[in-house]
Amino acid sequence: MNLGRLVRRHAWSHPVRAALTVGAVAVAIFLFCFLRSIVTSLDAAVKESASNRIITASAVSLFQSLPSAYKESIARIDGVESISRMTWFGGRYKSEENFFAQFACDAETVFQQYPELVLPEEQKKAFMMDPGGAIVGVGLADKWGFKVGDKIPIIGTIYPRADLKMWEFNIHGVYHSTRANVDEMTMYFHYHYLDESLERGEAYGPRGTSVYLIRLKEGYRGEDVSHAIDTYYEGGPQRTRTQSEAAFQADFVNMLGNLPTFLGMIGAAVLIAIVFGIVNTMTIAARERLRSMGILQALGFPGWVPARLYLMESCAFAVTGGLAGMGIAWLSQDTFRKMFGTQIPMYRVAADTYLWSIVICVVTGLIGGAVPAWRAARMRAVDQLRRGI
């Protein structure tokens, strides 16, 4: 008789119990994948950042813009290949609770700065030609149903219009992103449009640039150029902090503070809960199977056979459940990307999360099987036969 077949028979002897156990593990593993993916997706933006780009922002505050005049003086610093401006707009779509990111950008240079932004040439051209034009990420377009040719109303929060009406932008393109460092949940429009509206008094708000994006010349080191820029503005009027794109993104992740710790604690609770679940099932199974295990031993099977059976059965439950949980996590990626698009635009379950899930399942399975296995190994066949129900 081969052990595998016995394990299968045992596992299926109570189909309802098997299903409940596998279901519980599946749910827990799915939750583990989800929680871990929140953290890894945020980190992905840091890891995939381009190395030939540095970003200059205010050293004083995230919300402080830099004077527009910095563009010319930064461009003259040695090692700067090209420079582009971006300003955080902070508007809301139609009503206050509909938030997504909007940036006013230098349309002439943004596509050179960000080769990650991919959209058809004719959409790009149409966007360049229209001062009130905009492009949106494919995630954003999916979420809100934006199409090329739409005119979308945006409430100015930092930049309200003097006539108290909403801003209107014409969608000319929908972009895709080739890397995790550039998300697909953002709208880009013309820097000049915003700046001129402020200049003419059609809108209020602080003039200036949130960040300068700088592409380095071949052979220059990011740290050296950053240092040169920051030294130049050390005495004001606004101090700058220039850093690699990766460091810039990492700052945002750091600002989340204790969030990763909280998620980790919840994840730990989830893992403990599955261990309890498996141990529970296996203890129940073992109680019911005392007699049959006694018979096995009485028939002459060695004493380690019941122990091995329990371990194998427990692992079978855990791994089956785990595979199901990973399947759910894999299938639900799109849904979560839509749900948490503004917070975690690039939600994705990373390969090593699946790997960790498998490891956890095997370990949980072993723990679950170990309890009855240990007991079975210490019991004599006679006692098992006697005490069995």
Binding region for other proteins (CB under 8 A): 14, 16-17, 20-21, 23-25, 27-28, 30-31, 58-64, 90, 92, 96, 155-160, 164, 204-206, 235-239, 241, 251, 254-259, 262, 265-266, 269-270, 272-274, 276-277, 279-281, 283-284, 287-288, 343, 389
Q: Which residues contact 155 (CB under 8 A, 6 or more apart)?
A: 91, 92, 93, 94, 95, 96, 166, 167
Nearer to other proteins, 262 or 374 (CB): 262
Nearer to other proteins, 133 or 205 (CB): 205
191-195 own/partner pairs: CB under 8 Å, 24+ apart = 191/85, 191/86, 191/87, 191/104, 191/105, 191/106, 191/107, 192/131, 193/104, 193/131, 193/132, 194/87, 194/89, 194/104, 194/159, 195/68, 195/104
| Smallest distance, other proteins to C-beta of residue 349, A | 16
* Alpha carbon distance 148, 135 (integer Å): 9
Q: How far is the CB of 211 from other proteins (least distance, A)?
A: 14
CA distance 383 to 379: 7
- Least distance to other proteins from the beta carbon of 80, Å? 23
How do 133-137 and 167-177 pair as beta strands? parallel
Least distance (Å) between residue 257 CB and other proteins: 5
Structure tokens, 377: 């190994």
Nearest to other proteins of 43, 288 (CB atom): 288
What's the min distance (Å) between Cβ of 206 and other proteins?
6
Smallest distance from the beta carbon of 82 to other proteins, in angstroms?
26
Residues in the chain: 389
Least spacing, CB of residue 303 vs other proteins, in Å: 23
Bridge partner list, 210: none
| Residue 127 or 159 having the CB closest to other proteins | 159
Sorted by sequence, the CB contacts under 8 Å of residue 340 that are 6+ apart come out as 38, 347
Task: Tell me the β-bridge partners of 172.
Answer: none
Shorter beta-carbon distance to other proteins: residue 118 or 256: 256
Give the nearer residue to other proteins in terms of CB position, either 172 or 289. 289
Q: How far is the CB of 224 from other proteins (least distance, A)?
A: 22
113 vs 384 by CB, closer to other proteins: 384
Q: Which is nearer to other proteins, 131 or 206 (CB)?
A: 206
Q: What is the CA radius of gyration of the chain?
A: 30
What's the first-to-final CA gap in the chain, in angstroms?
24
